[in-house]
Amino acid sequence: MIIDLPLDGTLPTDIVCSHNRSRHHDSPFHQHTDHIELILFISGDVTFYTPHKAFPIKPGYLIAIPNGVWHRVVTKNADPYERIFLNIKVNLIDELSTPKTNLFDCFKTSSAKDVNILNPDQDFIDDYIGFADQIISSLNKNSYGNDVKIRILLSQILLLANKIQPVKEQPKNVMPPFLEKVTSFIDENLAKNLSLSAFADQFFMNPNYLDRSFKKYTGLSIHRYVIEKRIELAKQLLRKGTSVTLVCEKSGFGNYSNFIRTFNNIVGISPGKYKKKYQR
């Protein structure tokens, strides 16, 4: 069974795990709020994207994605694409960790990297697949002790992942340098005018050409990418307790009613209800 995760990053459960197989995969950029993610690539010819990089992924690579990191995976041809992804809520990893064993270690990245690319051996891959398949089976059961079993399996996977060394050489970044500059410009100016004309003025390029190039590599138009980044910033501010009115301003939505409508359409609830539900 193939599971498609919501692109707004709001996962309804503490754990999501799926062993997926398909021939064509082309997801737009997305991130998962308050959840880390492990993706084990088993087969397929795919490219993995972060906002600033794009690189080919070899079968057998394990990618450790910190919470809140935008990413995208695209198949390059019709070869069978098989992968196992595991999303775990950050608070749950806190509970599974101890003062001597921090299970977050494999998700800690340097300033130059958005994600960690790990290169496990075949023994790890076999164990990982076995543990993950048990988790998938257990998530569909309500029998006595099942929750404890899932936590044990999660701990085993994370212990294994934290012992793996990163790849010796990062795969070559195939994203054009100017697109790295575009995504950085967006990140630094979310509260300002980010119309296509603003990008044209900043990068001295035809706005339609720039938009087409951006969509080719990200799967989203510039406008949609900006909206989703602004919504993510709005969610972060709401969780901190910022008022809805101030969030509208700080996240770059000039029109209050448009902010309420857009937030509700993407996240599924109003900003006020989101703040009440998730405020820390």
**What is the spatial distance between Cα 93 and Cα 96, in angstroms, rounded to a whole number?**
5
**What is the spatial distance between Cα 86 and Cα 45, in angstroms, rounded to a whole number?**
20
Amino acid at the residue 171 = P
Q: Around 127, how many Cα atoms within 13 Å sit in the side-chain half-sphere?
A: 14
Positive/negative CA dihedral, 219, 257, 208, 193: negative
Q: What digits encode the pLDDT tens for the residues 216-239?
A: 877 788 998 899 889 989 988 998
Give the rounded percent of residues in the chain with a pLDDT score beyond 90.
Answer: 58
Domains for the chain: give ranges and CATH numbers. Answer: 15-161 (2.60.120.280), 177-278 (1.10.10.60)
Full-model pTM: 0.81
Q: What digits encode the pLDDT tens for the residues 148-188?
A: 999 999 999 999 999 998 888 888 888 888 888 898 899 89
